A and B are shown apart, each in its own frame.
Chain A
Amino acid sequence: MITKTVYIYRAFERFWHWTQALLIMFLALTGFEIHGSIEFFGFEAAVTYHNVAAYALIILIVFAIFWHLTTGEWRQYIPSLTHVRTYMNYYVFGIFRDEPHPTRKSVLSKLNPLQKLTYFGLKVLIIPGMLISGLFYIFYRYPQKHGIEALNIESLEIIAIIHTAGAFLLLAFLIVHLYLMTTGETVFSNLRAMLTGYEQLHEEEEDQGINIQVISEADEEEKA
């Protein structure tokens, strides 16, 4: 197999990824303390930390959005349903037989179809959902004393439940994400890539990053 060391994750991307990871874990820790599930910092500290980390995350997300738009990297996340099935098959069967990934990772296509779908959902639904419900949680007042009456929401309940549900989803994502990290070329290759920016990728200049051979094989298997 011909491989080449490729600079795949740029500095900001790596910074964004790891800061976001830390912030989300920290938000989960403090959030579930507020929620009453665990005890760690103490409630009052948890509330303060959660709010600070939340603002930090918001700032980070603003930068990340800017970065994604200016670099055009946002296109990486446009989901498509092609090959989703193939990829599911890969994770359910192929991976155990040490088959190669059905699609190939490249600078232009870093994400496999399942990742695209998941990250798209994360970025379009879960994170904005957390952000918006979180901001409502911060600015929620009932009644709006000296404030805008029209913004009166009579109960925190719906806000809090959406926020909690999102938190569970994020945690579940985290568990699976941490595991799938180990399913790269080698157990640590993905991790190393996200830390250093460099990854050994298959060299095949012109193709679109799709391992045609593998896919046709998988399709055949499906038919059989």
Chain B
Amino acid sequence: MKRIAGILTIVALTVLVAYTMFAPRSAPPSHMTELRARMKQKPPPTVDHALFPQLQGPFERPQDVAGTCISCHNHRHTEVMQSNHWNWEREEYIVGRGVVYIGKKNAMNNFCIGAMGNEQSCAKCHIGFGMDDEGFSYTDATNIDCLICHDQTDTYAKASEAGGAPEPSLDLGIIARSVGRPDRDNCGVCHFYGGGGNNVKHGDLDEAMFATTRDVDVHMGADGMDMTCIDCHVTENHNIAGKLYSLSSMNRNRATCEPCHTELPHEDEILNEHTLKVACQTCHIPVYAKVNATKTHWNWSTAGKLEDGQPYHVEDENGNHTYLSIKGSFTWGTNLEPEYQWFNGTASHYLLGDTVPAGSDLIVLNELHGSYADEDSKIIPVKVHRAVQPFDPGTRMLIMPRLYAEAVGDSAFWKDFDWVKAAEAGMGHAGLPFSGDYEFIKTEMNWPVNHMVATKENTVQCTECHTREDGRLAKLTDFYLPGRDYSPLVENGGVALLLLSFLGVLIHAGVRIGASRRRKNGGAR
């Protein structure tokens, strides 16, 4: 009886161990198959705008196009005018600060510093017309630039320093008759070029993604699902899901992976458990700036050097500027490993006019909140952009200089190369004091990395984090990470114990063998 029970147990255990170890674990989750099928369906347009008599043109002014759009879509403009694409501002609540309106008007960055006083040129990426230094009519619906988002000819382009107006040479009629659902080109013409050049700011939004492969971005690859931005940035009534934490602070309206992939997307339970504390992006975006370089450091303090009285520039072997008289020196990087931070969806911001406490020599312009102990936090990948930028030691404020003007003598740094004048003009324009003194201070900006998702073969592997030295999470030390952390006491004590046991055994065995030899040789006891 007992023997049978014993044998049965042996068999059961062996089968159990063998099954769990070698069972096939790789059948693709069925929801992925469903998702692929869903994403393959590209809805055909419901109307053909080319047939509408109203759109036959010709259109003199871009405002005439907008007016015509509104004549049929007679509620849509109210939606657009509530969007942050239009207002360049969001109402946000910041912990410890209260409700603030954050936008290009008052936020500072560590690239071209800010939009204040530079509106004419910045408006190239605003969805409106008629912006100038004096401001902008946020109530005139015909200033909405419908075409920048809805053009399907891929020819629509905004003119430089024209307050948001299109290139005058364009035939707006042709473009108006092409309109449809925004595709990657519509979003990319602005969002790939943030910071004044391709991929400068984000690092994970690159013009290479206009047409790309799964290796660069598993969602957008033409050899894959070929998804558009709004497949994920789901939009209803012109409210687009997703925003970037350079300018937002609240945990709302985020575009996340879960609506498609669910909260527990893996076959493997242990991987699923990771989702409690680790954002999808952390493992699934091992590197960013995969094709073209992104800026990682910007040093304004070297700006203003001239050659023969003229501004000049220096390029690296890939054609990226490493020095520009008007902007200073830069460092670029490709295939960068992100840095990692805890993030609970809320952030705080340095806003124009904020003063920095004495003694601090680093300003984080958008601090991401979170920690291990915070239940809502997850680890996310971040591109940290570091800079050295002008600072007023008298008022302890970051300086918003006037950068752009049409001509020399208008205090613009890009024409006159005089920090004091540029600071005076810029801060004056913002209604803020300037002590007359300037120096340079280190700043950091956090850019969460969300795009360029890798194929599953290329995800971050266990030991890139679960490793003793130099793991990806080496800087996040507020929790116990298996494989990385240990108690030095237990570790040293344990190793010592093992060594002593071993040594004890050796000595004991040695003496035993010696004694038995002596006995055999007839030696006395």
Contact = CB atoms under 8 A, between A and B. Distances in A.
A164 B480 contact: no
Interface in B479-495: 479-480, 482-487, 490-491, 493-495
B276 interface: yes
B379 to A, nearest CB: 13
A145 B480 contact: no
Interface in B363-380: 373, 375
Given A43-B462, A156-B479, A63 B276 contact: no
B501 A53 contact: no
Contacts of B461: 43-44
A36 B21 contact: no
B2 A11 contact: yes
Given A15-B9, A19-B13, A141-B273, A98 B479 contact: no
Contacts of A15: 6, 9-10
A212 interface: no
A48 B525 CA distance: 55
A19 B484 CA distance: 30
A7 interface: no
Nearest to A39: B463
22 contacts: A10-B2, A15-B9, A35-B482, A42-B462, A43-B466, A44-B461, A49-B21, A55-B20, A95-B512, A145-B276, A156-B480, A157-B480, A157-B487, A160-B480, A164-B486, A165-B487, A165-B490, A167-B494, A168-B498, A171-B494, A171-B498, A179-B509
Contacts of B486: 35-36, 161, 164
A50 to B, nearest CB: 11
B314 interface: no
A176 B504 contact: yes
A96 interface: yes
Interface in A138-170: 141-143, 145, 154-157, 160-161, 164-165, 167-169
User: A-B pairs with the 10 shortest C-beta distances?
Assistant: A168-B494, A157-B480, A43-B462, A96-B515, A179-B505, A143-B375, A175-B501, A172-B501, A52-B20, A156-B480
B276 A143 contact: yes
Nearest to B518: A96
B467 interface: yes
Q: Give the most central of A48, A53, A156, A168: most B CB within 10 Å.
A: A168
Interface string B447-475: 00000000000000111001110000000
Contacts of B155: none
B508 A98 contact: no
Given A154-B373, A179-B509, A48 B466 contact: no
A223 interface: no
A40 B276 CA distance: 28
Contacts of A172: 497-498, 501
A53 B14 CA distance: 11
B519 interface: yes
B3 interface: yes
A10 to B, nearest CB: 7
A47 interface: yes
Given A34-B482, A35-B486, A63-B9, A97 B515 contact: yes
B188 to A, nearest CB: 36
Nearest to A146: B263
A175 B482 contact: no
A176 to B, nearest CB: 5
Interface string B508-520: 1101100110010
Interface residues of B, number: 50
B99 interface: no
B51 interface: no
B270 interface: yes
Interface of A: 10-12, 15, 19, 34-36, 42-44, 47-49, 51-53, 55-56, 59-60, 63, 91, 95-98, 141-143, 145, 154-157, 160-161, 164-165, 167-169, 171-172, 175-176, 179, 182-183
Nearest to B463: A43
B483 A43 contact: yes
A164 B508 contact: no
A11 B159 CA distance: 88
A98 B519 contact: yes
Contacts of B495: 168
A169 B498 CA distance: 8
Nearest to B511: A96
Given A35-B486, A157-B480, 14 more contacts: A10-B2, A19-B10, A36-B468, A44-B462, A60-B13, A161-B487, A164-B487, A164-B491, A168-B493, A171-B498, A172-B497, A172-B498, A175-B505, A176-B505
B37 interface: no
A98 to B, nearest CB: 6
Contact of A161 (B9, B273, B463, B490): B490
B502 interface: yes
Contact of B479 (A10, A47, A59, A155): A155
A96 B482 contact: no
Contacts of A165: 487, 490, 493-494
Contacts of B277: 142
Contacts of B27: none
B5 interface: yes
Q: Give the most central of B6, B276, B495: most A CB within 10 Å.
A: B6
Nearest to B496: A168
Contacts of B493: 165, 168
A156 B486 CA distance: 11
B375 A176 contact: no
B480 A155 contact: yes
Nearest to B495: A168
A23 to B, nearest CB: 9
A91 B495 CA distance: 24
Interface in B1-23: 2-3, 5-6, 9-10, 13, 16-17, 20-21
Contacts of B487: 157, 161, 164-165
A168 to B, nearest CB: 3
A109 to B, nearest CB: 21
A154 B508 CA distance: 45
A154 B480 CA distance: 10
Contact of B17 (A56, A63, A141, A183): A56
Contacts of B276: 141-143, 145
A97 B17 CA distance: 46
Contacts of B491: 164
A98 B525 CA distance: 10
Nearest to B484: A36
Contacts of B6: 11-12, 15
Nearest to B469: A36
